């Protein structure tokens, strides 16, 4: 089954313990890259790709994510009274249309596959996308938009992929590649976090997926895999006999913002791109390098 991609799942239930104490009371997805939180980059990437319905899979303490995409009456009234029209537009433009943002709760941290499964009743029998906000991609055309372009030709399941050093394969889901034209790689299998000696390739999945609803048939079993968690890659692998799977080498730069060094690098890279602050940030960095 293949069809238009109109829904996206954003799993955002994680505690963000690697960023304590910053994430003690603030959702890690609200950590800013310059002046915009990670979650907003993810939502804007989805909109650019033609997504019209967004599903947050949240946990306790994540109300801030919902509030960010809602009216802030006191703030908006104050901005309006002070004639700050540009700032007012920034606040209002980030809100999804009414009824286009849904929130479901993942009560227990049982893995990415479980988080996606929690959105099943909203996704129903439709193909859908998944964006992990921790994986931030700087690209002229958004990563998900590039994937949807490729998906229109091949259908099936798809993930964004990058080549990683062999010694890092135990951190990622790795493709067992059967065909590869340098951009699209077709896989016959997926292995979650294999030891380097057992890795079938160095082509690694990052946090972008296009999936057919058949994955829910596997996720319904609630079977645990690597790390004693319900793995999304296991569900994808289990459908490969009937649903083709491709990895897309996207055009752009990926930043792992679940890692402190990656988060700082993303802030620097995005700041340097900005006309308003780029030159001053570049001058400031010279003092430290």
Q: Are 186 and 246 in contact (CB under 8 A)?
A: yes
Interatomic CA distance for residues 261 and 107, integer angstroms: 30
pLDDT attached to residue 14: 87
Per-residue pLDDT of the chain (289 residues; tens, 9 = 90+): 457 899 999 999 988 889 999 999 899 999 999 999 999 999 999 999 999 999 999 988 888 899 999 888 999 999 999 999 999 999 888 888 888 999 999 988 899 999 999 999 999 999 999 999 999 999 999 999 999 999 999 999 999 999 999 999 988 889 999 999 989 999 998 888 889 998 999 999 999 999 999 999 999 998 888 778 899 988 999 999 899 999 999 999 999 999 999 999 999 999 999 999 999 999 999 998 8
Question: Helix/strand/coil (H, E, C) string of the chain?
Answer: CCCCCCEEEEECCCCCHHHCCCCCCCCHHHCEECCEEHHHHHHHHHHHCCCCEEEEEECCCCHHHHHHCCCCHHHHHHHHHCCCHHHHHHHHHCCCCCCCEEEEECCCCCCHHHHHHCCHHHHCCCCEEEECCCEEEECCCCHHHHHHHHHHHHCCEEEEEEECCHHHHHHCEEEEEEEECCCEEEEEEEEECCCHHHCCCCEEEEEEEEECCCHHHHHCCCCCCHHHCCCHHHHHHHCCCCCCEEEEECCCEEEECCCHHHHHHHHHHHHHHCCCCHHHHHHHHHCCC
Q: Give the orientation angle of helix 85-93 with respect to helix 73-81, to 10 degrees.
A: 160
**Dihedral sign (CA 234, 237, 243, 245):** positive
Nearest-5° Cα angle at 47, 41 to 49 = 105
Interatomic CA distance for residues 248 and 153, integer angstroms: 12
Residue 48 to residues 22, 41, 64, 89, 227: CA-CA distances in angstroms?
30, 11, 23, 18, 34
Whether CATH 3.40.50.1450 fits 7-258:
no
pLDDT attached to residue 79: 93
């Amino acid at each position: 089954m293949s069809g238009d991609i109109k829904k996206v799942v954003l799993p955002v239930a994680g505690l963000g313990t690697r960023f304590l104490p910053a994430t003690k009371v603030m959702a890690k997805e609200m950590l800013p890259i310059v002046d915009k939180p990670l979650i907003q980059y993810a939502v804007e990437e989805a909109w650019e790709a033609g997504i019209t319905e967004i599903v947050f899979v949240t946990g306790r303490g994540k109300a801030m994510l919902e509030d960010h995409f809602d009216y802030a009456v006191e703030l908006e009234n104050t901005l309006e009274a002070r004639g700050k029209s540009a700032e007012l537009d920034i606040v209002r433009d980030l809100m999804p249309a009414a009824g286009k943002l849904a929130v479901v709760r993942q009560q227990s941290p049982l893995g990415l596959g479980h988080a996606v499964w929690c959105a099943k009743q909203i996704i129903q029998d439709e193909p859908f996308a998944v964006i992990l906000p921790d994986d931030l991609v700087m690209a002229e055309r958004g990563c998900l938009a590039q994937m949807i372009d490729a998906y229109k030709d091949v259908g099936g399941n798809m993930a964004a992929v990058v080549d990683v050093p062999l010694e890092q394969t135990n951190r990622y889901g790795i493709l067992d590649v059967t065909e590869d034209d340098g951009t699209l790689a077709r896989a016959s299998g997926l292995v979650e976090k294999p030891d380097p000696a057992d890795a079938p390739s160095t082509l690694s999945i990052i946090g972008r997926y296009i999936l057919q609803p058949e994955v829910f048939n596997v996720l319904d079993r609630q079977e645990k895999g690597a790390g004693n968690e319900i793995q999304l890659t296991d569900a994808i692998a289990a459908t490969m006999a009937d649903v083709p799977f491709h990895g897309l080498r996207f055009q752009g730069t990926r930043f792992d913002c679940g890692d402190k060094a990656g988060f700082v690098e993303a802030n620097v890279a995005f700041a340097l791109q900005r006309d308003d602050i780029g030159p001053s940030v570049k001058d400031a960095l010279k003092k430290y390098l």
